[in-house]
A = this chain, B = another copy of it.
Amino acid sequence: MGEAYEPRSGCPINATIEMFGDRWSLLVLRDIIFGDRRYFRELQAGSEEGIASNILADRLKRLVESGLLTREDTRPGQRARYSLTEPAIQLVPVFAQLGSWGLRHRPTSRALRLRAELLEQGGPALWHEFMDELRREHLGSESPARSPSVRERLNAAYLAATNSS
């Protein structure tokens, strides 16, 4: 994977799977999108699944090469911020469907399930509101911010569940 290589077939589903069809790429993007993690160590330390540092480094590099992330270029030793690109932001509906399927057919923890449930209930309208929010944060687009943000709502539900259980 990585840069622009030739896909095995011209099928859109295959072409997508070839970019994300591994155990980590989508999880890294998930943490950036829903967890608002922008820096290497934030991503590593906050990882639910415990990603190893070299795998995280490799995936970040591939995601940058394939145009899903941009990396603020800094001198070595200084922390660099990663930002989503428009293609990555458009993965929100994919995440919503993956989450919906998972909460119906896989064992999940109550707190983490809530995000997927809210995204499902909110439907495409909520997804697009969230995508606009991500464009503001990551692309610096100039559109009015609503409050509370979608992520704040998702996190509030998560926190409420972890405290009350």
- Measured CB to CB, the residues of A under 8 A from B are 7-23, 26-27, 30, 48-50, 87, 90-91, 93-113, 116
* Nearest-neighbor residue (CB-CB) of A15 within chain B: B106
Q: Cβ of B101 and Cβ of A16 under 8 Å apart?
A: yes
Q: How far is the CA of A38 from the CA of B105 in the complex (A)?
A: 23
Q: Across the interface, which residues of B come within 8 angstroms of A100, CB to CB?
A: 12, 93
Q: Cβ of A23 and Cβ of B12 under 8 Å apart?
A: no
Q: Cβ of B19 and Cβ of A112 under 8 Å apart?
A: no
- Which residue in B7, B12, B20, B49 is a CB contact (below 8 Å) of A8? B49
Q: Cβ of A17 and Cβ of B12 under 8 Å apart?
A: no
Q: How far is the CA of A50 from the CA of B110 in the complex (A)?
A: 40
Q: Cβ of A113 and Cβ of B49 under 8 Å apart?
A: no
Given A7-B107, A87-B105, A90-B104, A99 contacting B13 (CB threshold 8 A): yes
Q: How far is the CA of A84 from the CA of B40 in the complex (A)?
A: 41
Q: Cβ of A103 and Cβ of B49 under 8 Å apart?
A: no
With both chains docked as a complex, state the minimum distance between the C-beta of A6 and any C-beta of chain B, in angstroms.
8
- List 13 extra interface pairs beyond A10-B107, A10-B110, A21-B21, CB under 8 A: A8-B49, A11-B48, A12-B108, A12-B112, A12-B113, A12-B116, A14-B49, A15-B102, A16-B102, A17-B26, A90-B105, A93-B100, A94-B98
Q: Cβ of A12 and Cβ of B93 under 8 Å apart?
A: no
Q: Cβ of A116 and Cβ of B13 under 8 Å apart?
A: yes
Q: How far is the CA of A19 from the CA of B98 in the complex (A)?
A: 11
* Nearest-neighbor residue (CB-CB) of A90 within chain B: B101
Q: Cβ of A94 and Cβ of B90 under 8 Å apart?
A: no
